[in-house]
Amino acid sequence: MIDLSTYISSTNGKAFAVLGLGRSGLTAACALAKSGAKVWAWDDNPAGRKKAEEADLELVDLNSCDWNAVQTLVMSPGIPLTHPSPHPVASSAIQNGVEIICEVELLYRAVRNATFIGITGTNGKSTTTSLIAHILTSAGRSVAVGGNLGTPALELPQLDRTGIYVLEMSSYQLDLLSSLAFDVALFMNISPDHLDRHGDIDGYIKAKKHIFERQTKNDTAIIGMDDDYSRGVFDAINQTGTVRTIPISGSTRLAEGIFVAEGLLIDDAFASQMDIADLSSIERLPGNHNHQNAAAAFAACRSVGLTNEEIITGMKSFPGLAHRQELAKVKNGIRYINDSKATNADAAARALSSYDNIYWIAGGRAKEGGIESLSPYYPRIRKAYLIGESADAFAKQIGNALSYEICGTLDVAVTKAANDAAQSTETDPVVLLSPACASWDQYRSFELRGDHFKECVEKISHQPVKEIAS
């Protein structure tokens, strides 16, 4: 847990109010208290307040507290700051001139001498964050990775000036920063998401652009160029002239950028059109979206001093991220890919664009629009296996455009897909779980759904696949 005592000693002795006592909020409250701060903890949910009591934290109803006695409000990112309407506690803090921050801001205030790399965007954040951290670690650097990905910021180890924090940043977290300046800031891509919390797409982009605030010419802004919104962000940041900008792409050649063309990673930012690596040989980074992730990771790692060789060595040993196009098994020439994290059609499109001869398992609790947008990928799909409450609706959307079978449950779908793939004469068949749906109709989380897929695959792999249906 991060020691905040040096930072606390510089404050005026007022209380730190902590609103929201989930994992990150409770960690923040405990870290503050352990470091000698006066902490007022509150959660609108009784279960959260019970956790605070068990941690010996002082409970104070922030809906009716004395704001004159409060130094800072540390608010969990999941609590609305602006849209659809501010939480009443946030409104009171603003009215009383009390700053509102999240725990990532506290991390920065405690360890300002470390290097901070921040990654945001709609898709690819987690993979890019993990890839950067893996490359840096494999090169022998002192690294801590977390933020929106897994470990709360204040649970990370305390690094010195040689250390590097690699932090996935959500739009909610970025709204709650006030002094953190990222040494390297990555803006991957944008597609409409979380609009209920940001009002509209412009509000969403504005929140994401906070990642570049307070950067100077000594810092680096790395920006994806594979969607119109992000190209607009690049133009806006580049025109300020206050920070070094590096454009990246997974599919398009760029002047003075890092990009992938015909599977080759090319550096035109730190060198002149230098071929760096053939990404087609890296199993865990398939598809244009992962090529963009690789370009982003290369730009970030070069920006903090790694060599080309160190970066490529790290990429080649990257194990991938669970449930995100995770290679679960190769058996009898069939690849089994766990992409359970694909909970909407946009995410499933990324997987479908990465393979040929696909035996596609899809379904669950559908998002708006279902799978209508995925029809351009149907030529890659040999058959679809539909599960969950969306199965009938997806069957109607597919119509006669694609061979499909309603399977109901994942175990049935895996068995049938494996059998069909084994009997095919195609090259490199792939059984792909990329549901384009939430998991909540049959599983508590996409992680449990992905784990069940891998369990089903393990059972199949104990015998030749062609014997499954016999």
pLDDT tier for residue 51 given thresholds of 50, 70 and 90:
very high
Running DSSP on this structure, what letter comes out for residue 414? H
pLDDT tens digits, residue range 56-89?
A: 999 999 999 999 999 999 999 989 998 888 999 9
76: exposed, middle or buried (Cβ count in 10 Å: 0-12, 13-18, 19+):
buried
CA atoms within 13 A on the CB side of 114: 25
pLDDT at 470: 34
What digits encode the pLDDT tens for the residues 282-317? Answer: 888 888 889 999 999 999 999 999 999 999 999 999
pLDDT band at 197 (very low <50, low <70, confident <90, very high): low
Question: Taking every pair of C-alpha atoms in the chain, what is the biggest distance, in angstroms?
Answer: 75
Which pLDDT belongs to residue 287?
84
How far, in Å, CA of 5 to CA of 16, rounded?
A: 13
Q: Looking at residue 352, what is its pLDDT?
A: 96
Q: What is the spatial distance between Cα 289 and Cα 300, in angstroms, rounded to a whole number? A: 17
CA angle 198, 116, 268 (to 5 degrees): 90
Work out the pLDDT band at 440, boundaries 50, 70, 90: very high
- Residues annotated in a binding site: 121-127
| Spatial contact of 154 and 1, defined as CB atoms under 8 Å apart | yes
Beta bridge partners of 266: 259, 275
**Where is the binding site for ATP, in residues?**
121-127
pLDDT at 83: 84
Residue with tokens 């208290």: 33
pLDDT at 185: 98
> What is the rounded distance in angstroms from the CA atom of residue 311 to the CA atom of residue 190?
26
Q: Considering the chain, what is the average pLDDT of its residues?
A: 93
Q: What is the mean pLDDT of residues 365-380?
A: 94
Which class in CATH covers the domain with range 326-467? alpha beta
Share of the chain above pLDDT 90, in %: 84
5-101 fold: Rossmann fold (3.40.50)
Q: Which pLDDT band, with edges at 50, 70 and 90, does 466 fall under?
A: very low
* pLDDT tops 50 at residue 22: yes
pLDDT at 469 over 50: no
Is the CA virtual torsion 28, 143, 187, 341 positive or negative? negative
Rounded Cα distance, 134 and 311, in Å = 10
pLDDT digits (tens, 9 = 90+) for 85-113: 899 999 999 999 999 999 999 999 999 99
User: What is the per-residue pLDDT across 146-192, written as a single tens digit (0 to 9) for each?
Assistant: 998 879 999 999 999 999 999 999 999 999 999 999 999 999 998 76
Domain boundaries, the chain: 5-101, 105-316, 326-467
Phi and psi at residue 172, in whole multiples of 5°?
A: -65, -45
Q: Is the pLDDT of residue 193 over 70?
A: no
Under CATH, which number does the domain 105-316 receive?
3.40.1190.10
pLDDT value of residue 196: 65
pLDDT digits (tens, 9 = 90+) for 201-237: 888 899 999 999 999 999 999 999 999 999 999 999 9
The burial class, CB within 10 Å (0-12 / 13-18 / 19+), for 359 is buried
pLDDT class of 328 with cuts at 50, 70, 90: very high
pLDDT at 467 over 50: no
Q: pLDDT band for position 123 (50/70/90)?
A: confident
Residue 10 has pLDDT above 80, yes or no: yes
Mean pLDDT for the stretch of residues 191-203: 73
